[in-house]
A = this chain, B = another copy of it.
Amino acid sequence: MPDRVLRAMDFPTIDHRGPEFQRLGKKVLADAQKLFQTKSPVVIYPSSGTGGWEAALVNTLSPGDHVLMYETGHFAILWKKLADRLGLTTRLIESNWRHGADPVEIERYLRDDVGHAIKGVCVVHNETSTGVTSDVAAVRRAIDAAKHPALLFVDAVSSIGALDYRHDEWGVDVAVAGSQKGLMMPPGLAFNALSAKALSASRSAKLPRSYWHWQEILEANVNGFWPYTPATNLLYGFSEACDMLFEEGLSKVFARHQRLAKATRAAVSAWGLEMLCQNPSQYSGAVTAVLMPKNERGESLNADQLRAQILERFNMSLGQGLSKVSGQVFRIGHLGDFNDLSLMGTLAGIEMGLELAGVPFRRGGVAAAMASLIQADSDIEDERPLAQAFG
């Protein structure tokens, strides 16, 4: 989390009905559209990302409506539970967490739904629990190919600000995001990026709602305001985070994450370990989940013991395996305010941790990651050659 963002937030809260706030409000609403790559409105809530999931559904659906969810990992499952509690009928395509949502399967499912009982399809773009991404554009094409009117809901919580997410181009109806991942901010803001079709659906949706109701918010947003007290200081931070992302340039931000992800995978492979994600086209640029090796009895060594040892010895916290893969994986985050050298520190901590913990592995991960980064530089130099200082 960059100090610049934290400091932007620790100023006194301005009057949320005054002209200074109005300027802030208009700016952050425009920033949000730029982030989601959309011309449609983006709604910002004082809420965690979970509230964004709820808002997307209650604004567009009616009690009992069917929604198709895809089990890409832990967060897809949580979203399903939330939908169940809201009184929706969820249908889950199950999966082993090692690949993204399969458009073919979705298309088949929707073709079978001849009565169009299914009102929405929910997909997680970047599964933080597995390091697997789903091809959102392909899911859209699958829905269209099935000539199905269902809305497309996308969890972009850990994509926004880290991975290339194209709301309009991909034809997403409601995208959900939070402040605490690629935006390098504390949690406390949730986002809904809309489409014309989603707005239209909201007019006839019957789920009760007030706090999450888009209409009143959108009306107030026209003038840069909110119908109720916004989380002004988090908006300060959001504004600053957007400035940082736009100063670097979104395409450079995305390329940086991909370069770091590739170097991370080079290290994992050099260690002789396996990624949880099985399909290279679905590797996440934001997080890499690594499977622990198995012992002679075919049982996974305990990832949490390794994580604990690395935390104690190097004061570095790796992501834990959640629910289905608990204890079997550790996760390396490489999103946000992260650069080549901080990644090298991270990978060195893991390499030393693997050794100190006695995990069977091969050394050379950091070296492989350095080679990967240098290769990335030379790939760029092929286009834009730079003179070497020496030799």
Contacts and interface: CB of A to CB of B under 8 A. Distances in A.
Interface in A159-212: 178, 180, 186-188, 207-211
Contacts of A340: 314, 348-349, 352
A228 B85 CA distance: 15
A17 interface: yes
Q: Which of A6, A341, A367 has the most CB of B within 10 A?
A: A341
A364 interface: yes
Contacts of A187: 13, 16, 46, 229-233
A241 interface: no
A390 B302 CA distance: 9
A242 interface: no
Interface string A142-174: 000000000000000000000000000000000
For this chain, the copies found in one complex come to 4
A211 B47 contact: yes
Interface stretch (A48-56, A115-123, A278-286): A48-56
Nearest to A231: B188
Interface residue tally on A, bucketed by range: 35 or more
A315 B15 CA distance: 13
Contacts of A229: 48-50, 178, 180, 187
A1 interface: yes
B346 A13 contact: no
A34 to B, nearest CB: 24
Contacts of A315: 339
B391 A213 contact: no
Interface in A319-361: 320, 339-342, 344-346, 348-349, 351-352, 355-360
A42 to B, nearest CB: 18
Contacts of A317: 15, 18
A239 to B, nearest CB: 14
B50 A211 contact: yes
A234 B190 CA distance: 15
A60 to B, nearest CB: 14
Contacts of A367: 363-364, 366-367
A346 B341 contact: yes
Contact of A10 (B7, B306, B320): B7
A316 B344 CA distance: 13
A388 B301 CA distance: 13
Contacts of A76: none
Interface stretch (A104-112, A250-258, A370-378): A370-378
A85 B10 contact: no
Q: Which of A10, A16, A17, A314 has the most CB of B within 10 A?
A: A10
Contacts of A360: 390-391
Contacts of A13: 1, 180, 186-187
Interface of A: 1, 3, 6-7, 9-13, 15-18, 46-51, 54, 58, 63, 78, 81-82, 85-87, 178, 180, 186-188, 207-211, 213, 228-234, 301-302, 305-306, 308-309, 313-317, 320, 339-342, 344-346, 348-349, 351-352, 355-360, 363-364, 366-367, 370, 373-374, 377, 388-391
7 contacts: A3-B3, A46-B188, A50-B228, A188-B231, A188-B234, A344-B344, A358-B391
